[in-house]
Amino acid sequence: MIKRYNQFIKESLMDEMTPKNDDQIRKALSDLDIESWINKVNRMNWDDSYLPSESEINDYLHDLDIESWIDKVNSLGLDNSYLPTDDEIKKYLSELSIEDWIDVVRRLKLGKKYFPTHDEIKDKLNISDWIELVKYKRLGKDLKPTNDEVAEYLSEFDISTKLYKIMYLNLDKSLLPSKNDIIKTFEKEDISYIARYMRYLLDLDKSYLPSEEILKDKLSKESLPYRLDYIKELELGDEYLPSTEELKEYLNYLTLPERISAVNRYGLSKRFLPRINKIKDYLLDKDNIKNFEKQFYKKAHILYDGGDIITLRSYSTNVAEYNLKTKKLKINGWYSDTTSRHINAFIDYIGGGRGLSKKELEEAPTLNI
């Protein structure tokens, strides 16, 4: 088998080297399909007289769909006279979905004149899909729906759905319902709904909130941690806070670091913080330190100098110091991903709450805990 294959290769090479007259070449080419014929002529650098006739090329191209037709003209190096007409291209594109239409124009580099028009998009898509397409395909302003078209679309929905559409589609805030309508909608919804729309529709200030009485009633239906979250998120005053008894009961269920973190997070009075001796006893408790170091296979160590300073050592480097008296944490910078995990765990251990990013650690900050 190998011997026969080698013989075949040898004969093929000899055939390529054997001189042929024009008639033989043209006869051999005409036995090929059109694509192979043109590729052979191009590869051999023969002149255009060896190419198929215009009618033969056109017959071949006309059997293809428009995309393949344009692809073949480009890949075979044919001149633009072989391309479909503008009308043929536009007719083909108009039968595609808008998304495919845009993709084909971009892939074949047909140019802006072949993009669908504003009215063609409007005929094929609803406003919601249209806006999504504009964002996803990064279309120009001239292909976006107008504010009037969007307003007409939104008019079909109730206020709650309209707010959702404006938020989800990131629409112009001029399309918002009236303040009175928004307040009435907020009065019917729970506090999580209000917080969500106040957070994402950034043009809404506190004047859009329901009355204090209604807000307090809505807050009272939430568990205390969520209640504190919403008060913080909506930037409500101390008059919305739970009673001192409720706060004490909630904080007493937390571990000491969690309690410190909660007081700091929600801006609660410092009187809710544990006494310094209690904090010190917790942080220096041998079992607590052992558990902290154990999670890092003893690559991170908590050291105490006998005074007010608790030090975090990562491997052999002191990377952070916490002052029990001033309640300030001094971080010495960013060292590595592993050490940053040690530092962030230490922040949590002393009640500092969320950890810091690489950029924040690089600034070597001093934090109030």
Specify burial of residue 277 (Cβ count, 10 A radius: 0-12, 13-18, 19+): exposed
216 exposure class (CB count in 10 Å sphere: 0-12, 13-18, 19+): middle
Asked whether residue 3 is domain-assigned, the answer is no
Residue 297 within any structural domain of the chain? yes
Residue 244 has pLDDT above 80, yes or no: yes
Q: Is there a single domain that holds both residue 294 and residue 347?
A: yes
Task: Classify the C-alpha dihedral 297-302-303-304 as positive or negative.
Answer: negative
Number of alpha helices (DSSP H) and beta strands (DSSP E) in the chain? 21, 5
Residue 267 lies in a domain: no
pLDDT tens per residue across span 323-354: 988 889 999 999 999 999 999 999 989 888 77
What whole-number distance in Å separates Cα of residue 128 and Cα of residue 37?
Answer: 50
**Domain membership flag for residue 350:** yes
pLDDT for 30 beyond 80 = yes
355 belongs to a structural domain: yes
- Which of 79, 122, 121, 129 minimizes the C-alpha distance to 102? 121
Confidence of residue 3 (pLDDT cuts 50, 70, 90): low
Residue 233 shares a structural domain with residue 302: no
Question: Is the residue at 38 inside a domain?
Answer: yes
CB 187 within 8 A of CB 156: no
Q: Domain tally for the chain?
A: 3
Q: Is 55 a member of any domain?
A: yes
Provide the percentage of residues in the chain whose pLDDT is more than 90.
58
Domain ranges, residue 310: 276-368
β-sheet bridge partners, residue 304:
310
Q: Give the C-alpha separation, 12 to 8, whole Å.
A: 6
